C-alpha cells in the first residue's frame, strides 16, 4: 500500500532508539526524508543517516529552545511531525516524594516538547495548506497509575492537546492524531535502569516477573513491538489516512477493555 509519503519531509523527536527509531525506519521505507532529533545518535540511526535519507540533529529536546532548533534544521517544508520524545521514571515512594523539579521535568518531556515542536513546525504546514502531526502518547493517559503519576498526567495532557489542536487546524488541511501504546518492548521498559529493573530493585520481584505482570492483563499476553507502534504512526502520517484527525488510537494488546 502506497501511503503517500514519498519525498515527504518528516521531523521525528526522540529518534535514536525504541519507538522513535522504528518510526524513522518506517518513514524511510515509505520514501520520506527524515530529520531525526535526539540528544545523541545511535549506531542504528547513524546507519540510516549513511543512506542519505536521514539527517540527524543532536539536540536537547527538554531545553525550551531545542524543539525549534530541530524544526529549523528541516528547512521551509515540513509535511509530517512525529512527537515521540518522552520519559517515565517509576515513583516508588509515593506522591509526597515527587518533587516540583521531577514534575516539571516530566511535564517538559511528555507535554511541552510536543507543544514546542508543533508550535515551530505548524507555520510551514499552514503555509502549505497540508500536514500531519502524530503524537506518541500512552495508555497511562487514561489508565492512571500512582507509580508513574507525573508521567500519566503529562500523557493525558498530550492527548488532550492533540485533540484540541486538531479542531483548530483541521479546516486548514492539517491533521493531528495520537497513538497510545501499552507496554512496549523498548529499553524504557526492559533495558538497564528501565521500568522493570527499577521496580525490581525495590524488592517487588525479578525484572522478568515485573515485565510479565505488566502484560498479564492483555489479550495477547506480550509486549507490543516498537515496529508495530511505528506502523500505526506511519499510517496516520500518510495520505491514505487523509480524513483521520482528532483521533486517539490505542495499541496495547487488548489491555484497555473499555470503549
Length of the chain (residues): 259
Contacts of 242 (CB under 8 A, 6+ apart): 4, 175
* Catalytic entry in 151, 161, 189, 223: 151
Closest alpha carbon to 154 in 115, 206, 205, 96 = 115
Name beta bridge partners: 179. Answer: 136, 249
| DSSP codes, the chain | ---S-TT-EEEEES-SSHHHHHHHHHHHHTT-EEEEEESS--HHHHHHHHTTSEEEEE--TTSTTHHHHHHHHT-S--SEEEE--------TT-GGG--HHHHHHHHIIIIIHHHHHHHHHHHHHHHHT-EEEEEE--GGGTS--GGGHHHHHHHHHHHHHHHHHHHHHGGGTEEEEEEEESSBSSHHHHSTTSHHHHHIIIII--HHHHHHHHTTTSSS-SPBPHHHHHHHHHHHHSGGGTT--S-EEEESTT-----
Q: Are 245 and 41 in contact (CB under 8 A)?
A: no
Catalytic site residue 127? no
Catalytic residues: 151
Amino acid at each position: 500500500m502506497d501511503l503517500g509519503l514519498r519525498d515527504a519531509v518528516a521531523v521525528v523527536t526522540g529518534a535514536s532508539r525504541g519507538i522513535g527509531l522504528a518510526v524513522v525506519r518506517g518513514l524511510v521505507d515509505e520514501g520520506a526524508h527524515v530529520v531525526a532529533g535526539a540528544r545523541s545518535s545511535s549506531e542504528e540511526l547513524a546507519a540510516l543517516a549513511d543512506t542519505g535519507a536521514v539527517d540527524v540533529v543532536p539536540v536537547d529536546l527538554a531545553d525550551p529552545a531545542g524543539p525549534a532548533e530541530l524544526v529549523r534544521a528541516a528547512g521551509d517544508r515540513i509535511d509530517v511531525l512525529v512527537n515521540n520524545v518522552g520519559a517515565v521514571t517509576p515513583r516508588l515512594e509515593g506522591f509526597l516524594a515527587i518533587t516540583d523539579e521531577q514534575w516539571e521535568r516530566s511535564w517538559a518531556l511528555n507535554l511541552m516538547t510536543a507543544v514546542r515542536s508543533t508550535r515551530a513546525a505548524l507555520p510551514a504546514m499552514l503555509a502549505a495548506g497540508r500536514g500531519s502531526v502524530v503524537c506518541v502518547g500512552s495508555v497511562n493517559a487514561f489508565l492512571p497509575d500512582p507509580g508513574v503519576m507525573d508521567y500519566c498526567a503529562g500523557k493525558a495532557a498530550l492527548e488532550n492537546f492533540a485533540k484540541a489542536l486538531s479542531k483548530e487546524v483541521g479546516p486548514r488541511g492539517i491533521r493531528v492524531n495520537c497513538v497510545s501504546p501499552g507496554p512496549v518492548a523498548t529499553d524504557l521498559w526492559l533495558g538497564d535502569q528501565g521500568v522493570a529493573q527499577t521496580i525490581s530493585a525495590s524488592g517487588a520481584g525479578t525484572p522478568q516477573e515485573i515485565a510479565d505482570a505488566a502484560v498479564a492483563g492483555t489479550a495477547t499476553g506480550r509486549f507490543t513491538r516498537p515496529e508495530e507502534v511505528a506502523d500505526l504512526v506511519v499510517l496516520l502520517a500518510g495520505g491514505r489516512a487523509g480524513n483521520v484527525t482528532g483521533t486517539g488510537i490505542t495499541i496495547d494488546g487488548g489491555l484497555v477493555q473499555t470503549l
